[in-house]
Each structure stands twice: as C-alpha cells, then as structure tokens.
Amino acid sequence: MSILKHFLIIIFIHTIIASVQINLYLTDWVSDKESDVIFHHNCLYVVATIEKENNVHQIISYCMSESPTQWNMEENNFDQIFTFAELYKENITSQQLYIWSAPIDIIERYQLFLNQLPLSMETSMSTQLYYNCTLPRFGSICQYEFDYYKANYSSLNEMINDFYHEHKYKPNTLTCYINLECNRGPVPACLDWSEICDGKIDCLDGGRDEEYCWQLEINECEENQYRCTNGQCIPLTFFRDDYIIPDCLDGSDEILKNNHRHSYCNIAEPTFQCEDIICGIHNHLYQAPWTSSCIEDRTFLLLKALFSNKPNFLHENCWTAFKCLFNAPTEDDSTCLGFCQNKECENIIETTCPHILNISDVSILFGHVYFIYTKNDFTLLNNWKTLLPYVCYNDTRCDKLFENNLLRSFNNATCIHPEYYNENRISEKNSWIHTLLIPTCKLFWKCNYIIDDDSTLCNKPNMYRCINSSKCISIHRLKDGISDCYYNDDEEFNIANDISSFKQLLKFFKCTKTNNFISYKLVEDGECNCSPNDDGFCEDEYPYIYYAQKHISFQTICDGFTELLPINIDGQNHTDETECEQWFCNNTYTHCDGIWNCLNGADEINCNSLSLLNCPVSHHICVSYLTNQLMCLSIDKANDGNIDCLGATDEPKLCRSLGNKFKLENFYCHNDRYKSCISHQNLCNNYKDCEYGDDEVACDTTRNFTTLEGICNERYRLIRNDVEKFLCARLNDTNKQSIVYFSLNSIENAVKQTTIKTDQNAILPKLTMIENIHNYEQRCHRGLDLRVWLDNEKNLTTRTCLCPPSFYGNLCEYQSQRVSLTIQFQTLSDSWQIPFIIIISLIDNSYQRKIHSYQQLNYLSMKNCQTKFNIYLLYSNHPKDLSKNYSIHIDIYEKISLTYRVSFLVPIIFPFLPVNRLAHQFTIPYKNYIVDNCSQEKCFNGRCVKYFDNHDNITFCQCNQGWSGQYCAIRYHCMCASDSLCFGTLSNNRSICICPINKFGSQCMLNNLICQLNENVTCLNGGQCIPFDENFISQNNFRCICPKGFSGDRCEIIDNKIILSF
C-alpha cells in the first residue's frame, strides 16, 4: 500500500475523531517592499459568538499584518508532503483538502490544476506542494500552531470563543492610535481612538483631537432617524432595539449596564459591542475623565505613565515620598510601607520638597487643568493621605465657575481648593479618580467649549446659547442630565415653552403628567426623570408599559395580563381583560412565548422540546419545593391552590400583578410573615430575602466566588446550574411584552426559552470555563497569539499575532482606522424567497476608484429580514489619505441567476473620525425594477447607473468585466472562475469574484456540495436547497426555499389552509 493511501486512512480516522477546520485565507500574498499599504494576510474568518440570539451576524477576520519573509524558516521535514500530481493520482478532491484544513489559496490552485488537466500535468502546477498538517499545526507549510488548541474542540469557532472566555483581558501595555500627531503626555501614554471628538482636549500640543468635532455638534438627522448624543444618525427603528449591541458609537441609543458590559467584554471576542463603543462623560458607561476608552485598565496605565516621570525640579526622595502619601496608583505598597515608617515621608517632604509641588509637568484635564500641592497644606493637615490638591487652570473662561474671593494664584495659574465644590476625600489607592478627577471634570465641563462664539454656527435653529456666555451647544444636549452651561440653564430649560418648532419637540421625550420634556437619553436610565403617577409608576422608566396602559392592542387582549387602564363604560370599568370567557389563553400570540398566559401554563406545555428531563406529555418542569431539584409536574397540579414548586411557579396568582399594577416581585416566599413575594433578581445573592431562605436553598454552593447581585443577573448567565437556569428563565413575567406586533410567522418564531439540560456533562465545561478564567501574557492584546515553527528539528519557534480588524501591528498594538457598519435589508413581498448576494465595498473618489476592502453577504428575506449585519471595512493605507473622499458602495445581485438588482451609496461624512460607526437600513426594490441608467459619456467600458433612493441623484460607472476605475478605463486581469462574475479588484490586485450558487472560494473555484451531500434530507416537500455562506460550510449552512403550502427550516411544516366553497 502506498504512503499516500496510508495517509488517506489516517486522515479519514482523524476526520472522525476531530472535526476542527483551520483554513487560512490570503496566504499567497507576500511583499518585501516598504510601503504604507497594509495588506492583511494569513487570515482566519470566524463567525462571532453573540451573547444573545438577537439577529445579529458578524464575521471577524483575524489576520497577520507583518511580513512572514522576516522569518528564516528551515525546510519542514516533519510533516508529509505531496505534489498536486500525487494527489490527483489518488483521486483526492479539493473538497477533501478543504476538510483537511488546507489553506484556501492552495485548495483553489489545486482545483485550477484539476480543471486544466491533462495540460496541467505537463506544467509546474503538477509539482506544487500540499503539506499534510497534523492538528494543532496548520498553514501552507504547517508552520503555525495555537497553543490553546484542545483535542475535544468541535469547531474553530468554539476554540476562539473559549480562548477569549478563558483569558481575561487585562493589558499591561497600552494600544495606541498613531494616525494623528498628538502629545498625550509622558511616554508611554498615547492617544486612544475613543478620545477623538469625545468633547475634551487630550492632545496637549494644540487639541488636534477636537479640531473638526464641531461638525458633529451641529449635525442634524432625518425625521426617520435617531440622533445619537455625539451627532451620529441611525435609523429610528434601531433605537432601543438591542441593549447588547448599540448602534451609536457612544451607546446612547441603548441603556447599557456598565458592570455587565465590562465584565463581559473582558472575556469576549472583539465584536462591535466591545470594540466600537466610547465610554465618555455623556453615556452610562462613563468610568473616568482621563480617557473615553472602555478598557478598564487604560486609566490605570495612563496614570502609571503620568507618575512614572519625575518632574525635573524635584528631588528623587521628595517625589517618592509624595507618591506614597498621595496614594499614587503606581507605587508598590511594600515600597511605601518601608519608605514611610515613623512619618519619614512627612519629614522628607518638609526637607526636600519645594513650596509648590506640581503633580505633573503636563495638564491633567482639558489641556489646561493642573493639580498642585503646597507645603503649608501638608503641615496643617494631620491625615496627609486625605489631602486634596489645588485645582489650577489657564482658561479665563472658567473664572465664572467660582467667586473671586475663593481663587488663588500659583505660578501664573488661577487655582481653587476642591473643598469648595467637593466634600469627598482620598481614602485608598485609586479612589482619587472618583473623589477628585470626576467631580473636577464635571465642574470644568461647563467651561469646556466645542463651539466658541461663532455666530454662524450658534445662530442655527438646532443650537442653544448658554445664558450670559459665548458658549453654545446642540439643543440635543438640553435636559440630558449633564450641565453644559455655567448657570445650569441647559438643564432647567423649559423645552415646551421655549421651543416652538414641533419637529424639534419630537426629538425629546414628553412627560405627560408635567408636560415637561427630557432627552431620550434619560429614558430607561434607572432614574425617574418624569414625576411618578398616582400609583408610583414612572413613565420614562417603563415607556412601553405606560403606552400600553392607554392604547389597546389586539395581540394582548385576554392574554391573562391587564395592560390597559380601566375605562368606565356605562358605569362599569373595562380593561383588555374584561369579558374574556370566550377567548383562548393558548393562542398564536401566547403559545411557547415563555410566559404563563394560562394560569395553569397550558400555553407553555411541551415547549421545551430539547430538554433532557424527559417529562411526560402535559407536564411542566419546575423545582420541587421539597427536594430543591428539577422535577416534572402534571398540568392538573398547576394552579390548583397547592404549592408544589419552589417560588410557587406552579401557582402564578400568588405573585402576579393585580389589575394594571406593575410588579417586579414574582418569587413566592413560603410562610413568610413579612413579605409574600420578592424579585427573582434577588435569587442566590447570598442574602436571605425570604424569611426562611427559600431564595437561597437551590443555589450552587460550590462556586468559588460570591454572586452579590443575584444569579439572574445577565453577567452570570454562563455559570448557572440547572435549577438556577430554570428559575431565571421561568420567573420572567416582568419581561412580558406589553406591545406585541402582528407577525406572519409568530408560531415558528415564538420566543425561545432557555433549554434546561440535566446532563451534567453539558454544563460542567461552562462552569469549568468560568472558574478557569485567568490572566495571560497580553502580548497580542485583543488578537490571537500564534506560534510560528522555524526549525522542527531544533524545536525552534517564534511568536506572532493574528489581529482582529480593530488592531494591527506585530503585537496588535496599533488601533485601526476603520468603518464599523451595521446594515439591515428588507425586501418587498415579491422577493421574500429570492436569495441575494450583497457586496459591500469601501471605495474612494480617486481616478482608480480604489476598493480598499469589501465583504460579501448572503441574504434571504424570509430568514434574514430582522438580521443586522455587522461589518468591518478597513482602509488599505495607514493612515488613510484625507485628501480623498470615501464612501460605502453596495451592490445587490440575485444569487441563483447572478442578475444585477440595484446599488446603494453611503457617503462617509465625518472622515476625521478614526472609527466611523455607521448604521443603515435599506429596502431592496421589487423584482421588475428597471435600473435607472444615465447619460455619462465617460463610462468607456461600462454603463452609467444611478444609485437607488439617492436624493442627490448620484451616478457611477458600472464596469464591464476586466475593467475598473472611476470611468472604467483601467484594464485588469480577472482571476475568477469562468462561470462567476468578476466584480473588480482590490488594492493588492486580488480579484473580487461573485460565485454561482454552488461555488465558493476567493476565485469561485471550489464546489459547495452541501446540498448534494444531503440530497434526501436537506429540504423536504420539494423545497429548493440554497448554500448560504462561502466561508463556512457545515451540515446546517444552507437555506430551504419552500413551495406554497409548506414552511419551516426544511419545509417540514404543512401550512394551514382555509378553503372557501360556494
């Protein structure tokens, strides 16, 4: 038997045992030239694991940006090597190479070799090599390896997800945005991308980081858009639609919980929700005034840089003593303990320090605010560690903040002592950030100007001028909870009386009881900003419930919950639950929605079809009141007046709201003398909220940490045991939707419940995963650490990094200029079942009309109409050329016929931003839409086409295959397969190909056999199978287009019919 046949047997066995595929993309590109053009190569494309099933899709590319030619690699004699000719003789297909983790470029070259047989046997193609890598090794010559690979992984996605979960991000060095010249302070301090246009000066050499940001301040949005606090515009339908992933760069469209976000993102993949958000003073994620970055440790690292540089005029001992007394975050406790014994530090300060002691040679805040101490203050105060410094500033516009008799002058700066505006004291090492920096920042924010006395801008109708000041702000900053004006008039402003324009009023939330208006930013922020009604209900905290109390909804009539306020009709009070005797509580809108609309839970029977508890038909799952374990309860025992389940989940009347009263307490405390019900958010918080501890008896006591917030807090989702999972999912009556919208597929898309599994092996890996979270050497920051084998015989290796799109560099230490696009598509009824290919490109306005980067999407409206696609688009140059204008060009083709349908254009209107966070929603026109051509004589080798739904009637040249450029005058060689479409070419001269329905790969050379391999089971009842992602082929990665009369993922559901006979 030949060596190759032995190899095939080994590969077959290996495929059965381990199914992880690690297929690298873009492995052929290598360049020795020094250039500002950055071509990412050796990439992995991984579907991101989104925290919740919330119709969000994102593919993350992890790529190398350093040149592999720098490594001196010895020949690989460790792995088996085969020529293309040898593979062909053993009938090896390109599909097999794909399954065996070969790089995509090699697979496509092999397929090209097969396509050109027998001629290719006589060319150099026959001698090209394929290296048989044994996991965890992979790559074109098996040169790469992940140290964290485990044999039990079932997919690359699982491995990457586990890597981030098991390695908490705690950087010990800073990542930097280097594309703007900026003095950020003492080295290694550097600018973060989030600090550009965050409203405060961070560049100490001229404030370049805020130079063009007035454009955002004056920006206005369309009526069908929501204006983010920072001036960005998003579709109005995206407002408050997903608390996990905001669409505004500053997160102002969603209510984001700070603790949950930080704890999650430290162990999460680098998705939009973690990488493309600002934690500035204007949002709920605000941490510290020193930076707007959401990385918790960045403030500490900046402070460490600040205190690492001793001012030139200070004695070394003075500086050390001062840092110890000041509780500087950089000084080791043991050092200070030995250095400051017996009040030695006080003596050192007395003898070696000057009268005035600057904390730093550079500004601390806003480019002009400093902190200083005086030796007299040290002498007068006994507890020196609580001493606060003077706050000094060099901007006379801040004089209005204080009374003149409180001000002092030091070193030509105006100073005030914090005791006049801040009663807090420094008590521990890092507390001075909150006791000094944050109050100082909020105070001096009033004299912080984005636009200063510019009559042209300040007189715009969407601007507000502060009283007795040259400062003006956007009207969207009125009533937002942050004082921007000296006299707080922006927060005391009566919008209803002073804004006459109805359109402007629509941009605020109206408090109906007081007829007052507040910023939408304050809606659902955890505080009652409107006066509560007579029942103590706050309309701005629960606006949807408040709306439902006054507006009847057919879908919620007679659903077991009273939403509508009583209406007196003929002397009787009527609600949406009046005279419901003839209505079924188990219906299309209530069945399997996770809520017991029927008091005996009949609408939720048999909904946990994947549960491994194997309950009989007509039984509920619950936690036994006697054993505290999961059990099956007959529906006959539900709502029978006897408590069988912990928390009385079988007797919902005991804790359910009466009438239209809103109630959070839904866990029943048995025999409690003081309170009958508590909120399920208090379960397992290590405190007996129930008198007899019912809320703590079923909790996992083996965890090695304390859950003070309650196990149902979202941050603990992955570590709950089976009982906790059930209770948190079952006790969700407070999450019942007060407004339910009509849906054509409400049965199929019923709210998915949490699956309760009793198989201990199913949950132990998750628990172990959390318990094993540890810090590791943060050499790649948010990227993947990769081992590179240089010499197998000598066991010689080096390391590199695969960076996500938000970073680049050898260590992923540089922050990328990028476009972060969230996009959602909709179609008209004639196209619901037409699959589309959508090409989204980042282009410039040069003669070459360069395509900097692109991404292809597969779209089927009947499956994806609610899907939001999150897409990174990168510039091919670092830094990007600011002399050019950039846009996002979107082309849509029908997937089956490759017929062109339409194009959209999204201009990038704020090019000075390092991260352009864009969100758009498009409607694909009807099937018979005729493309609107135009007369552009300069389209030499193409045709002139108008962008669809473009108010400015902008046109472009749609080039014939083989031609590119603004006027289709640049010829290029197309590398795509002959049965595909050649869309264009990238900066690295790689062709962009649109593949026919059963092909995939960068050149469309590879056959996608998923529908053929599963011919008998893929789509039932005559449904058409459509392969659905060229990058990820798995057993479920297809869609079924069903004929009339059938529905379901595989057309397995026979639709109901109404037959009318006359």
For 343-357, the DSSP string reads: GHHHHHHHHHS-SEE
| C-beta of residue 868 within 8 angstroms of C-beta of residue 52 | no
Work out the burial of residue 506: count CB atoms within 10 Å of its CB; fewer than 13 is exposed, 13-18 middle, 19 or more buried.
exposed
Q: Note the pLDDT tens digit of each residue in 829-886.
A: 999 999 999 999 999 999 999 999 999 999 999 889 999 999 999 999 889 999 999 9
What's the CA gap between 638 and 181, in Å, rounded? Answer: 68
For residue 958, the cross-strand partners are 943
Residue the block writes with tokens 């709210």: 751
What's the CA gap between 392 and 173, in Å, rounded? Answer: 30
Tokens at 326, concatenated: 């000041």
Does the pLDDT at position 9 exceed 60?
Answer: no
Q: How far is CA 640 from CA 112, 429, 634, 650, 843, in A?
A: 71, 58, 11, 8, 66
Give the list of residues 6+ apart from residue 478 with CB closer than 8 angstroms, or none. Answer: 464, 490, 491, 493, 495, 508, 519
Predicted confidence at residue 425, as pLDDT, reads 54
Exposure string of 1021-1056, with b = 16+ CB inside 10 Å and e = fewer, is bebbbbbbbbbbbeeebbbbbbeeebbbbbbebeee
Q: Note the pLDDT tens digit of each residue in 779-828.
A: 899 999 999 999 988 999 999 999 999 999 999 999 999 999 999 999 99
Classify the phi-psi angles of 1001: left when phi > 0, otherwise alpha if psi is within -120 to 50, otherwise beta.
left
Looking at every residue in the chain, the average pLDDT score rounds to: 84
Does the pLDDT at position 738 exceed 80?
Answer: no
Predicted confidence at residue 332, as pLDDT, reads 60
User: Could you tell me which residue, 478 or 749, shows the higher pLDDT?
Assistant: 478
Q: How far is CA 253 from CA 58, 284, 445, 490, in A?
A: 20, 11, 23, 21
Predicted confidence at residue 264, as pLDDT, reads 77
Position 980 confidence tier, pLDDT thresholds 50, 70, 90: very high
CATH code assigned to 1010-1054:
2.10.25.10
Nearest to 942 by CA among 926, 964, 924, 925: 964
- Phi/psi for 943 (5° steps) reads -135, 155
Tokens at 508, concatenated: 């605020």
What secondary structure letter does DSSP report for 436? I
What's the CA gap between 754 and 725, in Å, rounded? Answer: 7
Q: Note the pLDDT tens digit of each residue in 193-244.
A: 999 999 999 999 888 999 999 999 999 999 899 999 999 999 999 998 887 8
One-letter amino acid identity for 228?
C
Predicted confidence at residue 54, as pLDDT, reads 60
Does the pLDDT at position 758 exceed 50?
Answer: no
Q: Note the pLDDT tens digit of each residue in 64-115.
A: 987 777 888 888 888 899 999 999 999 999 999 999 999 999 999 999 999 9
One-letter amino acid identity for 154?
S
Considering only CA atoms, give the Rg of the chain.
32
What's the CA gap between 255 and 251, in Å, rounded? Answer: 8
Predicted confidence at residue 90, as pLDDT, reads 94
Position 612 confidence tier, pLDDT thresholds 50, 70, 90: low
Tokens at 420, concatenated: 């006049």
In percent, how much of the chain has pLDDT > 70? 85
Predicted confidence at residue 260, as pLDDT, reads 62
Q: Note the pLDDT tens digit of each residue in 114-136.
A: 999 999 998 999 999 999 999 89
Does the pLDDT at position 1 exceed 80?
Answer: no
Q: Note the pLDDT tens digit of each residue in 131-180.
A: 999 989 999 999 999 999 988 888 898 899 899 988 889 999 999 999 99
Kindly state the average pLDDT of the residues 346-368: 86
Position 768 confidence tier, pLDDT thresholds 50, 70, 90: very low
Predicted confidence at residue 827, as pLDDT, reads 95
Peptide bond preceding 835 in cis form (omega within 30 of 0): no
> In 10 A of CB 874, how many CB atoms?
21
Nearest to 408 by CA among 375, 424, 399, 314: 399
Does the pLDDT at position 917 exceed 50?
Answer: yes
The helix-helix angle for 760-771 and 156-166 (nearest 10°) equals: 40
Does the pLDDT at position 303 exceed 80?
Answer: yes
What's the CA gap between 881 and 908, in Å, rounded? Answer: 13
Domain ranges for the chain: 1-155, 310-447, 462-547, 820-1007, 1010-1054
| C-beta of residue 401 within 8 angstroms of C-beta of residue 444 | yes
The DSSP bridge pattern shows strands 868-874 and 56-64 to be: parallel
What's the CA gap between 643 and 523, in Å, rounded? Answer: 39
User: Could you tell me which residue, 764 or 323, shows the higher pLDDT?
Assistant: 323
Predicted confidence at residue 112, as pLDDT, reads 95
What's the CA gap between 935 and 562, in Å, rounded? Answer: 61
The number of helix segments (H) and strand segments (E) in the chain equals: 24, 49
What's the CA gap between 133 and 140, in Å, rounded? Answer: 9
| C-beta of residue 522 within 8 angstroms of C-beta of residue 529 | yes
Kindly state the average pLDDT of the residues 728-739: 76
> What are the CB-based long-range contacts (under 8 Å, 24+) for 617-621?
620/650, 621/726, 621/756
Predicted confidence at residue 1031, as pLDDT, reads 56
The alpha carbon torsion through 585, 591, 592, 596 (nearest 10 deg) reads -10
The separation between the first and the last C-alpha atoms of the chain, rounded to the nearest angstrom, is 75
| C-beta of residue 995 within 8 angstroms of C-beta of residue 1031 | no
What's the CA gap between 436 and 443, in Å, rounded? Answer: 11
Nearest to 56 by CA among 736, 682, 866: 866
Nearest to 944 by CA among 954, 953, 934: 934
Predicted confidence at residue 404, as pLDDT, reads 78
Predicted confidence at residue 269, as pLDDT, reads 93
Predicted confidence at residue 776, as pLDDT, reads 54
For residue 356, the cross-strand partners are 374
Does the pLDDT at position 659 exceed 70?
Answer: no
Nearest to 277 by CA among 292, 255, 296: 292
User: Could you tell me which residue, 324 or 598, shows the higher pLDDT?
Assistant: 598
Give the list of residues 6+ apart from residue 104 with CB closer than 8 angstroms, or none. Answer: 23, 24, 25, 27, 98, 1001, 1002, 1006
Q: How far is CA 1011 from CA 259, 393, 978, 1022, 1035, in A?
A: 45, 70, 22, 13, 9
Q: Note the pLDDT tens digit of each residue in 646-658.
A: 999 999 989 987 7
Q: Note the pLDDT tens digit of each residue in 425-468.
A: 555 545 666 777 888 888 899 998 888 777 789 989 889 999 98
In percent, how much of the chain has pLDDT > 90? 43
Predicted confidence at residue 357, as pLDDT, reads 84
Q: Note the pLDDT tens digit of each residue in 595-610.
A: 899 999 999 988 865 5
Nearest to 78 by CA among 4, 14, 134: 134
DSSP H or E stretch at residue 239:
none
Position 751 confidence tier, pLDDT thresholds 50, 70, 90: very low
What's the CA gap between 742 and 745, in Å, rounded? Answer: 9
Kindly state the average pLDDT of the residues 1043-1048: 88
Q: How far is CA 7 from CA 2, 90, 139, in A?
A: 9, 11, 18
Kindly state the average pLDDT of the residues 563-578: 87
Q: Note the pLDDT tens digit of each residue in 669-697.
A: 988 887 789 998 899 988 899 999 999 99
